[in-house]
Amino acid sequence: MSQKPIHRLVVALAAATLVLVSTVACTGGGKPAPKDTRTRGPVPVLPPISTPPVPVGRAAATAADFDRDPCAVATSEELRLTLNEPFHILAGNVLVLQGRPATATGRAPSETDTVGCGFGFIAEDTDTAETYHSVVVRVARWRTGGAALLSGCQSGAKGAPYGRVPVGDEACLGPGSVVTVRSGVHYFTIATVLTPVRADRSDEDTDLAPLVRTAATLIVPRLPRA
């Protein structure tokens, strides 16, 4: 027999042996990996991060309920959050609480007779010049004189921002950022007062209209009608 075929056979056997050794080395001898028999408990689920709900005011069923606690129709925190967007557009700032709501009654020589509440806020950054630093929202029930006040608003200043406001049974925004509202047989005003007062007040009512309208939208549905 020729030595060449034998030589080729030896080379082929050596190559096959090398491939086999490489395969065994890579696969761990061709044996399947041992199963992990350890028992695992359920994957812990972390509770969602939540914030406490914002306290809200309560509706007054009757005028007597409102007069007893006029500040109950809204909380300072919900009113602050409601006003933050229009105030930020107006002043580039956000509001923080300033004290607690305060009740007030009035008996003027003009026979006005009111009971209501004032909610106070200040701007978070009071170092900003040329802007408002404080906001007071006042809601009041007019025991007398309310009908005349609403009629005067409706027949008074015309054009934006004055006129009808879609809250209550009837509502009108007049000069001085005051919304006058009829709710059933009762009359109320919701007003916003911002300080410091601008030197040029020609466009002030237009600038402040979104604030008082926003406050009225929150508060009026909670006012008594009977």
Domain limits of the chain?
1-32, 63-222
pLDDT at 199 over 70: yes
* Best mean pLDDT range from 25-29, 124-128, 129-133, 217-221: 217-221
Q: Which two tokens stand for residue 140?
A: 């009041």
Mean pLDDT of 41-51: 67
- What confidence tens digit (pLDDT) does each residue in 141-179 have? 999 999 999 999 999 988 999 999 999 999 999 999 999
Q: What's the confidence (pLDDT) of residue 31?
A: 56
Contact 178, 191 (CB under 8 A): yes
How confident is the model at residue 52, as a pLDDT? Answer: 80
